[in-house]
Amino acid sequence: TLTILCGGDTTAFTAQKPLLDVVGANITHLGPLGSGLVGKLANNLILGIGRLAIAEAMAMAKKAGVPLDTLYQTLKTCTADSRLLRSLEGAVLHGEYPPTTFLAVKDLTAAVESGRSVHQPMPLSNLTLALYELANDKLGGLHTSNEVMRYVLEN
């Protein structure tokens, strides 16, 4: 299900919405020009930070001797459950990192720059970007957004 985040003139959005409805299921007008991009960056920022949080939690549990399969199944019944957690089962439990388009460093950089442009401090975002860049350097390039988890889980 494709979600499309739009920004721009309301009249123009309304005129184009029938066309957008053909390609996406969730079409949202977020405000003036540029708002759709900010919405996309917000989504990707949450994914980038969340992916690292899940990796760190699993690495901690693994080193403490907690069976990851049991923990993973349990987390799906706790408040930590999320679409992101559920999408990472292969990475967490089986070390599977299927090829995907990798744009995390680009998107995190754009999010940090967007925050800077509106004078919003983003310390967690800056740290997340630095960790993705470190993983990218140490692994000789990240080919999927989930490979950052491999770096965290194996170090």
- CA end-to-end distance (rounded Å), the chain: 35
Looking at residue 122, what is its pLDDT?
A: 95
Write the pLDDT tens digit of every residue in 3-54. 999 999 999 999 999 999 999 999 999 999 999 999 999 999 999 999 999 9
Rounded Cα–Cα distance for residues 9 and 148 (Å) = 38
pLDDT at 90 over 70: yes
Looking at residue 99, what is its pLDDT?
A: 60
Q: Which residues of 26-47 are buried (b: 16+ CB within 10 A; e: fewer)?
A: ebbbbeeeebbbbbbbeebbeb
pLDDT at 108 over 70: yes
Rounded Cα–Cα distance for residues 42 and 108 (Å) = 9
When pLDDT is cut at 50, 70 and 90, the band that residue 63 belongs to is very high
Interval 68-88 mean pLDDT: 95
- Which overall architecture, per CATH, does domain 38-154 show? Orthogonal Bundle (1.10)
- Average pLDDT score, the chain: 90
Please state the φ and ψ torsions of residue 123, each to the nearest 5 degrees: -60, -40
When pLDDT is cut at 50, 70 and 90, the band that residue 151 belongs to is confident
pLDDT at 131 over 70: yes
Which ranges in the chain are annotated with CATH 1.10.1040.10?
38-154
- Can you list the positions of beta strands (E) in 48-115? none
Q: Is the pTM of this model over 0.85?
A: yes
